[in-house]
Structure 1
Amino acid sequence: MFLDNIKKRKIKSLMISILHRLFIILKIRKCHFMVKVAKQVSLNLMNPNDLKLLRKKNKWTLRDFSGKVGVSKSLLSAMEKGERVITAKTYDQIRQSLGLVLETRTDEELRAHLDYLKLTLFETTAEIVMEKVVGIEKKYFHVEHLKRHHYDRVYRCGAIQVYEADKLEQGILLEMSGQGLREFEEFLAESDFELNDWLILATD
């Protein structure tokens, strides 16, 4: 796999430089539609206020809470402040440690399979998208000069593609096919991260 030689990166700084206007086109298997992705992609995740309220309601210090749920005090503090995302894995660990019942999904909740992804990012550069949004160093991409999607060149790392135009106002296009998404999920998994968590950060 082409990503095997890429050094593992800490995803915690993945989206520090993500830029103001972010639009996502999702093509879902058997159903193609355009949406603005909501900040909470995973419907049952806690937000920072929920986490802090849970701790305060039980009159626990951060040290007490850390011992009960098996999550470090520093990470809990960062999640309460909104500095770190509450991942699906951490969310489940907290609830299971405290014996809380998981909500049951209703029939009205959307179930979808992400088959194809396009992100158009404005007021940024291709290098920032590669290194801060995707989290892969620019040196692992090779550039091709071509005219496609009204862009002038594309940077490729496997099936992950970043398009750049000479006209800055057109923005930077990040495109992943189904294969690209699978490769990206494998890359995120090396740092114990999930695509769902990345989408939450990308749209925050």
Structure 2
Amino acid sequence: MNSTISEYIKTSRLELGLTQDELAQRAGISVRYLRDIENDNGIPSDWVYESLQQALSTHEQNRMKWGARLRKTRRAYGVEQEWFALQLGMTTKQLRALETGKTELPYQKRFEIMSAVERFNPENEPLSIMFDYMRIRFKTTDARYVLEKILRLNMKYVISEDGGVYGYSYRFTHGNILVLSSPDEEKGVLLELRGRGCREFECYLRGQKRSWYEFMRDCAAEGCVFKRIDLAINDHAGLLHVPTLYRKRVTGECVTRLRNVEYFASGRENSWETDEDLKMEMGHTLYLGSKDSDVYFCIYEKAQEQKAKFGKSIEDADILNRFELRLTNNAAENSADALMDSEDAAGTAFSIINNYVRFVEPQTDKRRYDCPTDKHWEQFMQGEERKLKLTMKPKPFDLERTENWINTQVAKSIKMLQEIEKMKGRDFVQRLLDGTVLNEKHRKIVAQVTSELE
């Protein structure tokens, strides 16, 4: 009888995924006592046996309740089991075992899964859209006019230097806002806003009570040329699955005007590895179109990229995937006109996407062009109907990159020197800092970081 009880307690505990510590705590006994029972070194009293049975039964019921709640929530949000399993990186069989209470997970993992299903809550907007790059050429050689009158920046904080990129002679920077100029009237003045530059400029737009659309109209009034515009559609719910899109593209389950395709998985080009086979670092990236063409799409796993670059948790990520539209030359000019006329970034973006690519559900009796749209792609493309508002995420200029560089490349060397100085009675590091004089550029950087918006 004693051996049967010991075997029952141990087998039940293991099947439920409980540690000895967890079961002992739930039953109100010591771990040592439980260990003796499982090792058949003692007969538990009736009270202890009942406590253990109750703890095991309660845990099993809670597990089944959690699984049922997960299944009910998933179904209520219209999320298919197979698709949700794909998003979680598990098989459909594994998810089914969770939902039926046959598999146990730690609390943190259960929390992460419930958070993942909540991303599909129809009351939460799964997508957002923002400007992520802008390059504009002005038909003037007067950079100061562009900085003060069009961008409305205070010149006392602007750093001016000789030399530039794209063949320009001079550069003017205000944080990550870059203006280039040349005495050549054909080149004129060029404004370039990369991702960080867009976020910083949004701080000034808000202070000026201007929208992006109003700023673009101000630029157009000066006879500018929109050379490049990038629109980023952020996927907060996992509507896009990059490896699946690549598979559908190369297997002919895609109707597209974009012939070129490139795929990178953790730095490996044209990789066929599955999620299970691949230890992902930078994540998956799919490029559609040619870099030399006017329309170029980039779809990638933003959360995985942020984890690889900065160690940020995927579970805490606000943006899981990103679809970037990179529009240059005629495409940039046409999209700028559409944006200024409609003030509808989402409508413009999804219209362009729909014009260039559509993923389909293959049917043997139909041509690819006549096949129905893939249901998951259709769910993503419904963003056009949602009338997404253009998102602004202003972020003031900071020295994050410099601080990261010091942290990863310099800090250990400084610490080493300080340790040596303590032993040798030297003060090289402090004397070096005391003797360093900031030039005008670095003083302006200090002013840019510490001053209020002007």
Q: TM-score, normalised by structure 1?
A: 0.42
Q: TM-score, normalised by structure 2?
A: 0.20
Higher helix share: 2
Q: Which structure ranks higher in relative contact order (CA pairs < 8 Å, sequence separation ≥ 6)?
A: 1
